[in-house]
Amino acid sequence: MLVALIRDVSPSLQRCELTHRPRRPIDVALARRQHRRYERRLADLGCTIHRLPTGTEWPDSVFIEDTAMVLDELAIIARPGAESRRAETTAVAETLRAFRSLLYIEPPGTLDGGDVLRLGQTVYVGVSSRSNQAGFEQVRRVLTPYGYAVKAVEVSGCLHLKSAVTSVGENTLLVNRAWVDADAFGDVALIDVDPSEPFGGNALLVNETVIYPSGYPRTRRKLQAHGIRIQTVDVSELGKAEGGVTCCSLIFSVR
């Protein structure tokens, strides 16, 4: 069974962190409706939804992916690079405790879950403006004994590793090469985002279907031309907060 942990849109979403996007008015009610539709997509694809409440003190809490990384063997509670986001991890850790044993990224390490891309037994960690070398080294130290190869990947020009590259199928990555060195990922098939859609690299693969933002139609058509099954979602308001489709859930299997 797949569980999708999601978290409500905060009433204070407008006060979110922004790094590469200009601040524009966010329609929070619309963001909530879009988030509900995203939740329904996850449920339709077979996920059991576990929804956490939020509050005004956590503007970015809907982007729950950044608070942890969950593997079959354990979960690592992140230490988000943005100070304003650190306290988001408490409620997530309390929930994950029922499913996994927990380890924590400790200072001076920082890690956002958006910088973690797992491909089989290889875990790529983006070294970005949010996740630092010490965070990467802690992940490597924890995961190496479980048989994972943990590799650092330089990210520049975007927020997280998964803003630039995500998995869209068996051994297939969707990538914006302007933001990450695609050679870092070894022997995989690569699909480039359309050059007019630089933010189009963030896709969420769930049970062989890709949940994909409706705002990037050219890249969507490219994915479909590769035989990839797509379900689109409108995440315009969450996009203004610099979020995408991977960041709104933590998905893991439960036996």
* Strand partners for 75: 70, 102
Name the residues that contact ligand CIR, by CB under 6 A.
16-17, 19, 60, 63, 65-66, 82, 85, 114, 159-160, 162-163, 241-244, 247
Which residue, 191 or 247, is less far from ligand CIR as judged by CB? 247
Which residue, 191 or 245, is less far from ligand CIR as judged by CB? 245
Rg (CA), the chain: 17
Q: Determine the Cα–Cα distance for residues 105 and 198; give it in Å rounded to an integer.
A: 30
Beta carbons of 13 and 62 less than 8 angstroms apart: yes
Beta carbons of 117 and 166 less than 8 angstroms apart: yes
Give the 3-state secondary structure of 42-109: HHHCCEEEEEECCCCCCCCCCCHHHHEEECCCCEEECECCCHHHHHHHHHHHHHHCCCCCEEECCCCC
Q: How far is the CB of 120 from ligand CIR (least distance, A)?
A: 21
Which residue, 76 or 247, is less far from ligand CIR as judged by CB? 247
Catalytic residues: 160, 247
Beta carbons of 202 and 180 less than 8 angstroms apart: no
Q: How far is the CB of 242 from ligand CIR (least distance, A)?
A: 4
Q: How far is the CB of 245 from ligand CIR (least distance, A)?
A: 9
Which residue, 17 or 237, is less far from ligand CIR as judged by CB? 17
Q: How far is the CB of 121 from ligand CIR (least distance, A)?
A: 22
Beta carbons of 125 and 115 less than 8 angstroms apart: yes
